[in-house]
Amino acid sequence: MTDHLEPELPFDPSGGDSGEPTVEPAVEPAGEPAGEPVSEPDGEPAGGPKDQPGEEEPEENSMGLLDHLGELRSVMIQSSIAALLATILCWFWSADLLELLIRPIRDQGIYFTAPNEAFLTRLKLSAVVGLFVVAPFIFFKIYGFVLPGLYQRERRMVTPLLLATTGLFYLGVSLAFMVVIPQVISFLLSFGTEALEPLIGVGPYFNFVSRLCLAFGLVFELPLLILFLSVLGIVNPRMLLRAWRYAIIIIVFISAILTPPDVISQVMMAGPVLVLYIGSVLVSIAVTNRRRNKDNDDQD
């Protein structure tokens, strides 16, 4: 006769204690959330710091690589079209522009030694002047391409930096064309004699003038370079003031390389650059003091 096995029950039907504790599932009261979010010590919920209210995320994050390339292609096409249209328009005034270019040596005369030299010179002159005219538009398009990827604080820095870059470049080119070139031409031609007459070709003369104007435009960007290095913390006013002797030597050496081998052009470039260097030191002092004050405010 087989034994009849009783099924085991989860409770004692007799109401007695079976000797083992009965585990009851925890029941949360209805209407209350399953749990509260864990708070950080500063009272903000866990999961990452809150976004700063004054700091905006760059809009470039929502664009892909192809979108960036498309925007860059559009900027390059528009800039090229603007430069081409400006060159075509300047071509109609290329004769007047050439007369303005050769004014310092009009008394000595100027010649072209190849059949196409006059045409090519007027074409290059139209292209250079056209690019010079539309440079602000090109800078504006580049600025518009970079702007969406910048924070609000960076935008406030880039805008005056762009204006200063354009203004200083135009100032350097204007100083070279209206002041330096006439003096340099007069000085260099003074070495001629009765038996040694100048015979100046329009092509070499155009290259001489354009190279000198470009050199002055570039060296006038020195304050912005020092400003950029000061913002990065690479240079400071004490370093600039302590190295003024080396700065003079470097400025004279660069002026000798970028200008023709004559004293007049070298001095006329080195003088303004030294003044710009002193201005750069003052700019570096202002940037350093501002950063120091900001660090003190953050510590307080």
Gap between the Cα atoms of 23 and 64, Å rounded: 57
Q: For residue 263, what are the contacts with CB-CB under 8 A and spacing of at least 6?
A: 187
Gap between the Cα atoms of 255 and 265, Å rounded: 8
**pLDDT-derived band at 8, boundaries 50, 70, 90:** low
What is the rounded average pLDDT of the residues 188-195?
82
What is the rounded average pLDDT of the residues 182-186?
88
Q: What is the pLDDT of residue 241?
A: 81
Higher pLDDT, 53 or 148: 148
Q: What is the pLDDT of residue 63?
A: 61
Coarse DSSP helix, strand, coil percentages of the chain, rounded to the nearest 5 percent: 65, 0, 30
Q: Tell whether the model's pLDDT for residue 192 goes beyond 70.
A: yes
Note the pTM of the prediction, 2 decimals: 0.68
**pLDDT-derived band at 300, boundaries 50, 70, 90:** low
**pLDDT-derived band at 52, boundaries 50, 70, 90:** very low
The tokens describing 163, both together, are: 């204006």
Gap between the Cα atoms of 177 and 33, Å rounded: 78
What is the rounded average pLDDT of the residues 149-169?
77
Q: Which of 69, 72, 216, 232 is nearest to 157 (CA)?
A: 232
Q: Tell whether the model's pLDDT for residue 137 goes beyond 90.
A: no
Percentage of the chain beyond pLDDT 90 is 16
CB 121 within 8 A of CB 206: yes
CB 219 within 8 A of CB 254: yes
Computed from CA positions of residues 255, 277, 288, 149, in that sequence, does the dihedral angle turn out positive or negative?
negative
Q: Tell whether the model's pLDDT for residue 67 goes beyond 60.
A: yes
Q: What is the pLDDT of residue 96?
A: 92
